[in-house]
Amino acid sequence: MTSDGATLLTVHGLKRAGIEIPDFELAAGEAMAVLGPSGSGKSLFLRALADLDPNEGDLRLGGEARESMSGPQWRRQVTYVPAESGWWAERVGEHFESWDIAAAWAERLDIPAEAGDWPISRLSTGERQRLALVRAMAQGARVLLLDEPTSGLDQRMTRAVETRLHEFVANGGGLIFVTHDPDQASRLAKRCLRFAKGGKAEEEPCR
Amino acid sequence: MPLIALDYWDIAVAALLLLVNAGLSIWMQLGLARDTLIAAARMVVQLGIMGLLMKALFSAVSPWLTALFALAMVLFAGREAMARQERRLAGWWGYGVGTTAMLAAAAIVTVFALTTQVQPDPWYNPRYAIPMLGMILGNTMTGVALGLHTLTSTAMRDKAAIEARLALGHPRTEALRHVAAGALRTALMPIVNSMAATGLVALPGMMTGQILSGVDPVEAVKYQILIMFLIAGGTGFGALTAVLAGAARITDGRHRLRLDRLAAKKG
């Protein structure tokens, strides 16, 4: 895994009700796993980073302050993908800026190109989860915030998703992901952010 | 043909129908008797007061009294529209958004009709202004209440889809487009349906009233058509204003979905 070392995401003084986050910086080509019991604030943390809920703090992307750009501009680059993402149109392809580009990504996660014409109702939970990931990657996110990206997948698909995430990080992306699996945390990341029950988080090396 | 005036006995006889209904409800245990009778009593009292107030107002023909009366009607309509929403905006917004939208829409449409089409003398003559405002306001209220109710309940239901779009960096106008469009469609459905059915199925109350009081049916129809256009216009403006303002309020300047700005479910 290559890492060019330049700071990609800076998080200083992040304040959001219910969680307590240490200051940290994420370099380009770096991944951080987020662990902790259910309800300890892991999702609140990712949502705050994506600016989806009101929060305060000095957040920067490549040195540029979050406040200097609009919410949508920030989120196109710092993109949150929940465990169960939403779908607003009838057909799969309508959810992508360009299905032709996205289809190449989807095929590498075992979803055929003709899925673009499928109605959303035809997708399984696992297919939805993989397509939500493709949706965020295909539009060029620089930092991915993934909430249990493989929770609905079997072992083979979990590995396929992990391979894609490895590539994303190796190409200079930043990755912060929530997982319940310590093995997955150490497979994908060297840094771990562990939440305790009350919402206080501490950084530690992954086991 | 002169108007056949009703005496109070005529009304009392008609009220028997309601008592029969209430009796049936008790017999069939529908639990409607109490509500029906309370609603009927409210209607009698409210209309009675309205009749007396209008009698006084019409003899005064004062612009200030007319404006004050109209404002009171809008404020009551605002309360009613708020009560019809299951999940409303928290705080003053819950009352303010709907009421402001109704005030603007009903005032514009009524003044427009009085000054350019009906043209009574003076234009604010309460004999024309108040009944027309009442009809426009009643329908605008339904539209505004339906629009806001649909907006907030759909936003709650489709939260995941809206947030998926916001998380991908779509602006709030895009993310809420289908919600706002659906709310407006629902708001305008009653007036569209009633325009389509009027004359075939339903004879509108105002037209019937004019005919009963001796007006030539063709003249009454002309009035009714004018009123329907005004109602459609008022409902459209009112619902559009309310839904857009509501959509702005359930999101914020950073394009986040702010369902925390809805009041807790009542009851």
Q: Which of A73, A84, A135 sits opposite B168 (nearest CB)?
A: A135
* Sequence-distant (≥ 6) Cβ neighbours of residue B86 within 8 angstroms: B149, B152, B153, B265, B266
Give chain A's mean pLDDT: 94
Give the pLDDT of residue B84. Answer: 87
- Which ranges of chain B would DSSP assign to H, the alpha helix? 8-27, 33-60, 63-83, 93-113, 126-157, 159-167, 172-175, 177-197, 205-212, 217-249
Is A78 within 8 Å of A9 (Cβ atoms)? yes
Burial of B257 (0-12, 13-18, 19+ CB in 10 A): buried
Which residues from chain A sit within 8 angstroms of residue B157, using beta carbons? none
d(CA A27, CA A42): 20
B168–A76 C-beta distance less than 8 A: yes
User: Which of A88, A128, A137, A176 is the best residue to mutate to test the B interface, defined by the most B CB atoms within 10 Å of its own CB?
Assistant: A88
Which residues from chain A sit within 8 angstroms of residue B156, using beta carbons? none
Which residues from chain A sit within 8 angstroms of residue B167, using beta carbons? 50, 52, 75, 79-82, 85, 136
Give the pLDDT of residue B29. Answer: 87
The complex's ipTM works out to 0.94
Query: Tokens 């799969």 belong to which residue?
Result: A92
Using alpha carbons only, give the angle B247, B248, B254 rounded to the nearest 5 degrees. 125
A139–B160 C-beta distance less than 8 A: no
Amino acid identity of B98? G
Q: What is the pLDDT of residues A170-206, one digit of tens each?
A: 999 999 999 999 999 999 999 999 999 999 999 998 8
Give the pLDDT of residue B154. Answer: 97
Confidence of residue A4 (pLDDT cuts 50, 70, 90): low
Q: What is the 3-state secondary structure (H, E, C) of A42-62?
A: HHHHHHHHCCCCCCEEEEEEC
User: Which of B176, B256, B261 is the best residue to mutate to test the A interface, defined by the most A CB atoms within 10 Å of its own CB?
Assistant: B256
Which residues from chain A sit within 8 angstroms of residue B160, using beta carbons? 82, 84-86
Q: Which of B160, B162, B256 sits opposite A84 (nearest CB)?
A: B160
Is B187 within 8 Å of B150 (Cβ atoms)? yes
Residues 165-224 of B with CB under 8 A from A: 165-171, 178
d(CA B112, CA B118): 9
Q: Which of A51, A87, A135 sits opposite B161 (nearest CB)?
A: A87
Q: Does B162 touch chain A (CB under 8 A)?
A: yes
| Blockwise average pLDDT, block size 10, chain B, 267 residues | 82 92 89 88 93 93 94 94 91 95 96 94 94 94 96 96 97 96 96 89 86 92 93 96 97 96 79
Return phi, psi of residue A199, to 5°. 100, 5
Q: What is the pLDDT of residues A123-148, one digit of tens each?
A: 999 999 999 999 999 999 999 999 99
CA B108 and chain centroid, separation:
15
Average pLDDT for A85-103: 95
Closest Cα of chain B to A202: distance in Å?
26
